[in-house]
Amino acid sequence: MTELPIRVMVLDAWDELQLVATPDTPVSDLKARALTLAKVTDPAEGYLVKYRGAELPENGRTLGDSGVVPNAALIVLPRRRIPAR
């Protein structure tokens, strides 16, 4: 199976993680893994994954289905907007 190195920024922790996945890894699994590694304790359902500025659908879609390429930069951020002060 082809390895897919990915950089994932978890906004709540302001951490950039270097992860290795495969093209058949579900987007939801990658999100859950990133949140766990960043020590975010809120439920994963409250977060979304963006790639190239667009939200990646999680309903059974894989990284390969979503067009994620090696060394891609993804971001995991809360679904609700953060109020500006």
Using CA atoms, how far apart are residues 68 and 73, in angstroms rounded to an integer?
9
Confidence band, pLDDT 50/70/90 cuts, at residue 82: low
Grouping H, G, I as helix, E, B as strand and the rest as coil, residue 34 is: helix
Query: Which tens digit of pLDDT belongs to each residue from 45-70?
Result: 999 999 999 999 988 899 999 999 99
Using CA atoms, how far apart are residues 77 and 9, in angstroms rounded to an integer?
8
Whether the Cβ atoms of residue 23 and residue 6 lie closer than 8 Å to each other: no
Average pLDDT of span 9-14: 90
- The domains found in the chain, sorted by start residue, are 4-78 (3.10.20.90)
Average pLDDT of span 5-25: 93
